[in-house]
A and B are shown apart, each in its own frame.
Chain A
């Protein structure tokens, strides 16, 4: 099973809870454009390209507020992180899930994966970078 955590993604229109994939192989977090548009993220940012395994996806640079919730002490932590909005195309109609990459996430938490216990531990670090 992939390492996912339950997070709340906040937009100007609405918020949603999602099982986001934590991916240390991804430089920055990524969200499909259909979700970004539906919840009301700013899509007027700089256009760029995201290089994946064998393909390139057009993206828009943006930011999003993400709330992380601890099971242990019910502490909510909300970070504003940089994000790439992946633009859909005829070649990439299959919408991917939301991926939490290094920028903003791995700067804000020390992350431990405990596969045998089916746990992911996020320990907040003091010098969180606010993007």
Chain B
């Protein structure tokens, strides 16, 4: 476990994925989608030995 994918996420601009969930492996976006669960299942199938970095690209202000 390291910070390489996290740092990549923090430094890059992902506005083109606005509102989507993305999966990053080896500092590369390998998949995106509207549903986090489906995205995780897809990445697990295509990259079974990798641990992806998963996050949502927010497109609006929110409160929890």
Contacts and interface: CB of A to CB of B under 8 A. Distances in A.
Contacts, number: 70
Nearest to A94: B62
Interface residues of B, number: 23
A95 B52 contact: no
B55 A18 contact: yes
A23 B62 CA distance: 14
Given A17-B53, A18-B53, A18-B55, A6 B6 contact: yes
Interface residues of A, number: 30
Contacts of B51: 8, 14-17
A35 to B, nearest CB: 5
Interface class of chain A by DSSP: mixed
B36 A95 contact: yes
Contacts of B37: 32-35, 37-38
Interface of A: 6, 8, 13-19, 21, 23, 25-26, 32-35, 37-39, 52-53, 67, 69, 71, 76, 95-97, 99
7 contacts: A6-B53, A17-B1, A23-B64, A52-B64, A69-B2, A96-B62, A97-B55
